[in-house]
Amino acid sequence: MPCGHQKRAIKHAMMRDCGRRCVYCAAPLEFDLATIDHVFPLAKGGIHTPGNLVAACGRCNRLKGDLLPTEFFARYPWAGLNFITYARAVHRALKRCARRAVSLAYARAA
């Protein structure tokens, strides 16, 4: 499968898995404007596999940058709550990480 077709197929799968919403802000996504985000960033040892890929709007993808999930969800707990709801096809370890980071962030704020 050519690279362009493969990327498109991955993006379609990510859109389906998240209900056509950004996994971080829950905004509705259009296919052409959606981006693919590596939850555990490539720059920090993440891999390009379906369990590490999610659909995100461009704004949230830039906001997250190469932050680790724990860092991102600790800074933006609302993103972690949405991630738990909409990122249905990610590795369980990433969901556990999000739950922990969100709990800690809200505990610190209280």
Domain-wise residue ranges, the chain: 3-109
The proportion of the chain whose per-residue pLDDT surpasses 70, expressed as a percent, equals: 98
Decide if pLDDT at 2 tops 80: no
pLDDT digits (tens, 9 = 90+) for 17-48: 999 999 999 999 999 999 999 999 999 999 99
Spatial contact of 32 and 86, defined as CB atoms under 8 Å apart: no
| CATH code linked to domain 3-109 | 1.10.30.50
Tokens at 51, concatenated:
């369990």
- Span 42-61, average pLDDT: 94
pTM, to two decimals: 0.90
Tokens at 69, concatenated:
């999930």
* Sheet strands (E) in 1-110: 35-38, 53-56
